A and B are shown apart, each in its own frame.
Chain A
Amino acid sequence: MEDSHVERFSASTPKPRIGIDGGDDNKNWRRRVNGVEVSVPIVCGSIAFFRGKKAKEYRTHNWTVYVRGATNEDLGAVIRKVIFHLHPSFKSPTRVVDSPPFTLSECGWGEFKIDITIFFHADACERKLELSHLLKLNPEIYSGPQSPNVPVVTESYNEIVFPDPFECFLSRVINHPAVHVSKLPEGLNLPPPGDAGDESYYKMKKGDTKDHPLSHWFSKFSEADELFRLTATRQKVQADIAELKRQLVMVDAQPEQF
């Protein structure tokens, strides 16, 4: 039975696709692969340095906000552009970063919530994704005057999930280091990778963050600890459940006498 279904061909694509599959281009271009999940682990964060002697009243910290791959791989394969919405007190607070690495540096004094909008390449997804990051300039616990050499780093790990991805997208990113692909169904024949569906992909420079100047402040996120704790807790809870069930049976069986 035909699992994947056919998408409508949108009239807004500017130029016709050159035949990649040899078959009906329009149909295959937008076919989704059901049951597969493409996920991109990212870290969204900020690093803020106190300016020390150079600090003025309204320019006390140099900070950088960014969206990077969790293992510092190049996100440009998936993300087309990122818009950072800064506090309105900044000049042109809507900052567009249209090539990786998706970072933005600024100078200021205030902490505020930065809304981040991520746009993807056309073959990945047409919808944008919204997240937000609270910019922190000052350490949580006061431990003396801030040193200009030790920044305040706030990072949070997340994953961008593409359920039932398009065939063309899947084939393009399946071996990309920034991307995780869940187990593929048996006998799946992916077409050879096409282009990303928009011109901008080719104009992008390579943009991983492995050699980024701030890279040694980046945290490494590992699921091991959390996973261990979760499985251990689950075991404990399961044991408690078993015990309670046993007791329930006993109470039921007990005749009422005293």
Chain B
Amino acid sequence: MGGTDAKDILGLPKTPLPLSHEKKARPQKESHRKPDGISREVYALTGGVAPLMPSIDVTHLKRPPPPDEKVAWQWLPIKSSARKDDLQLYHWVRVVNGVPPTADYSFAKYNKSVDISKYTDDEYENHLTDPVWTKEETDQLFELCERFDLRFTLIADRFPLSRTLEELKDRYYTVTRALLRARAQSPADLANHPLMKEPYDMTRDRERKRALSMVLSQSRHQEKKDAEILAEAKRITEMRLAARRATDPDVLGNENIGLDKADGGPGCSVSPSSNSQLPATAVAPSTLTMADYASTLASLRMLHVYLRTYGLEQMVQAASSAVGLRTIKRVEQTLQDLGVNLKPKVPTKTVCDEHLELRKEILTLLNLQKQLQYKESEGSSQREGSYAAMPDTPKDRVFASEPFSFGGISAEKPIKKEPKRKGPGRQADTPSPAHKRPRKLKASDL
């Protein structure tokens, strides 16, 4: 909003280039409409975001004042219960119908202070002596504590003798605890006092602060490493847990809500066990699809009962775990083009087995297509000098050499085309956005 004003002044075009992230930002901004009652610029001052807690009821802002009240503002002296001296201060006061407000100064209620125990000399002699601390020091400490409401950073700063913050804290809490214990009528009273329940530990405090400062000063590199290690550890524990579940039937049993007499399954090392039908594989994506199938089958058997469609889903997922999302989409597109339902309408065992085999074969087909393209582009790029010298991925090179191989290899290709092919010579699939730029260059160069 402020941006368009500036652009107006400078005479720049208002609509930015259609980059995807800008598009995303705009719909997000639309949802933050300014609230009624305050003007746009004022709202923008707050950062354009609604406050976490509404401080003023927005309807109050543009309400006209009630007609029967006569409001005047007067310069009057204030009385505040928070002030102990007799300093007379004045301020503007909203007077309604000639009656000044009688309540205490509105901020007086915030004048809270901490209860610091005060010890007598006797008490000091009996309970509070310490080899390191003299009475004068302790007195001074307590006076500062009172003055500064136990804000130890200030106290440490003002303390005349050089003591660390932790030492001051330690002394204060030890003294207070000793006093509490000495003054308590019965031990039971003490038990619930927070100071007794969790005593101050100086060394722990030091350690804590050191650890915090270390975390704060961690470099980004270190953070990334830590995150990686944690993720790794989590994965390992999950795999271990899955392995334990496979061998230990009791762990399985705990997950069932209904009647359960869990059986020990055949020895399988990694298997996801779940009572619900949500797919949840603990197998890390690997290139061993046969192992994936075997483990999926084993996990299905562990369920003791499942729906055929669920079984097929799991097997398809196992097959897809080794390949990228783009490839999966291409397989599904191929299935659709060939007129096959992505999910069989009559999922009998035979149909599901055939479906799975078909998917595998399509994957092989797509891989072979890719290989062939790559080989061809390799061959043709060696013929064309400068264009092939571009440091592109193999897919880009396919495009680079496409126009030139028109007369070459493509003419040798059989006319029988894959259903996905777009036209003569165009063997590649729908290009992903990453390819758009090199393709455009080529077209314009030609």
Stretch at the interface among A123-131, A184-192, A199-207: A123-131
Asked if B338 contacts A163 (CB within 8 A), the reply is no
Asked if B307 contacts A131 (CB within 8 A), the reply is yes
Within 8 A of A (CB), among B241-296: 249, 256, 258-264, 266, 275-277
Work out how many contacts link A and B, with CB atoms closer than 8 A.
Answer: 152
Is B210 at the interface (CB under 8 A from chain A)? no
A129-B348 CB under 8 A given contacts A227-B354, A240-B365, A252-B375? no
Binary A-proximity of B356-367 (CB < 8 A = 1, otherwise 0): 011001101100
Set of chain B residues within 8 Å of A240, measured between Cβ atoms: 365, 418
Is B349 at the interface (CB under 8 A from chain A)? yes
Binary A-proximity of B400-416 (CB < 8 A = 1, otherwise 0): 00000000110001101
Asked if A227 contacts B311 (CB within 8 A), the reply is no
* A222 (CB) vs chain B CBs: closest residue: B346
Set of chain B residues within 8 Å of A92, measured between Cβ atoms: none
Set of chain B residues within 8 Å of A161, measured between Cβ atoms: 300, 305-308, 311
Set of chain B residues within 8 Å of A233, measured between Cβ atoms: 338-340, 358
Is B93 at the interface (CB under 8 A from chain A)? no
Set of chain B residues within 8 Å of A258, measured between Cβ atoms: 383, 408
Asked if A159 contacts B358 (CB within 8 A), the reply is no
Asked if B364 contacts A241 (CB within 8 A), the reply is yes
Give the bracket for the number of chain A residues in contact with chain B: 35 or more
Set of chain B residues within 8 Å of A8, measured between Cβ atoms: 249, 261, 263-264
Stretch at the interface among A57-65, A98-106, A143-151, A243-251: A243-251
C-alpha gap A89/B266 in the complex (Å): 45
Asked if B346 contacts A126 (CB within 8 A), the reply is no
Is B395 at the interface (CB under 8 A from chain A)? no
Binary B-proximity of A7-47 (CB < 8 A = 1, otherwise 0): 11010100000000000000000101010010101000000
A237-B368 CB under 8 A given contacts A127-B303, A129-B306, A256-B382? no
Listed residue (A125, A182, A233) with the most chain B CB atoms within 10 angstroms of its CB: A233
Asked if B418 contacts A158 (CB within 8 A), the reply is no
* B252 (CB) vs chain A CBs: closest residue: A127
Set of chain A residues within 8 Å of B171, measured between Cβ atoms: none
Is A50 at the interface (CB under 8 A from chain B)? no
Set of chain A residues within 8 Å of B276, measured between Cβ atoms: 130
Asked if A159 contacts B349 (CB within 8 A), the reply is yes
Closest Cβ of chain A to B48, distance in Å, is: 40
Set of chain A residues within 8 Å of B341, measured between Cβ atoms: 226
Set of chain B residues within 8 Å of A37, measured between Cβ atoms: 349
C-alpha gap A247/B413 in the complex (Å): 9
Is A229 at the interface (CB under 8 A from chain B)? yes
Cβ 8 A contact of B345, one of A124, A157, A159, A237 = A157
Listed residue (A222, A247, A248) with the most chain B CB atoms within 10 angstroms of its CB: A247
Cβ 8 A contact of A251, one of B301, B344, B376, B416 = B376
Is A119 at the interface (CB under 8 A from chain B)? yes
C-alpha gap A124/B305 in the complex (Å): 9
Is B394 at the interface (CB under 8 A from chain A)? no
Closest Cβ of chain B to A30, distance in Å, is: 7
C-alpha gap A130/B274 in the complex (Å): 12
Asked if B350 contacts A223 (CB within 8 A), the reply is yes
C-alpha gap A80/B230 in the complex (Å): 46
Cβ 8 A contact of B346, one of A124, A130, A226, A245 = A226
Set of chain A residues within 8 Å of B195, measured between Cβ atoms: none
C-alpha gap A34/B369 in the complex (Å): 41
Asked if A125 contacts B304 (CB within 8 A), the reply is yes
* A251 (CB) vs chain B CBs: closest residue: B375
C-alpha gap A5/B266 in the complex (Å): 8
Is B96 at the interface (CB under 8 A from chain A)? no
Is A94 at the interface (CB under 8 A from chain B)? no
A39-B308 CB under 8 A given contacts A226-B344, A227-B351? yes
Is B355 at the interface (CB under 8 A from chain A)? yes
A237-B361 CB under 8 A given contacts A230-B340, A248-B368? yes
Set of chain B residues within 8 Å of A222, measured between Cβ atoms: 346
Asked if B258 contacts A251 (CB within 8 A), the reply is no
Set of chain A residues within 8 Å of B266, measured between Cβ atoms: 5, 34
Asked if B305 contacts A162 (CB within 8 A), the reply is yes
Is B438 at the interface (CB under 8 A from chain A)? no
Within 8 A of B (CB), among A49-79: none
Asked if A234 contacts B361 (CB within 8 A), the reply is yes
Is A134 at the interface (CB under 8 A from chain B)? no
C-alpha gap A39/B256 in the complex (Å): 22
Q: A158-B307, A237-B358, A248-B371 are in contact. List 16 more A-B contacts (CB 8 A).
A: A7-B264, A34-B266, A127-B275, A129-B306, A131-B277, A159-B307, A160-B305, A161-B306, A161-B308, A222-B346, A223-B350, A225-B346, A230-B351, A236-B338, A237-B362, A241-B368
Could you tell me which B residues sit within 8 Å of A by CB distance?
249, 256, 258-264, 266, 275-277, 300-301, 303-309, 311, 338-341, 344-351, 354-355, 357-358, 361-362, 364-365, 368-369, 371-372, 375-376, 379, 382-383, 408-409, 413-414, 416, 418
A-B contacts, 22 of them at CB < 8 A, read: A5-B266, A8-B261, A12-B259, A39-B308, A120-B305, A124-B305, A127-B258, A127-B260, A127-B304, A129-B307, A130-B276, A131-B307, A160-B305, A221-B345, A226-B344, A233-B340, A244-B368, A247-B372, A251-B409, A254-B379, A256-B383, A258-B383
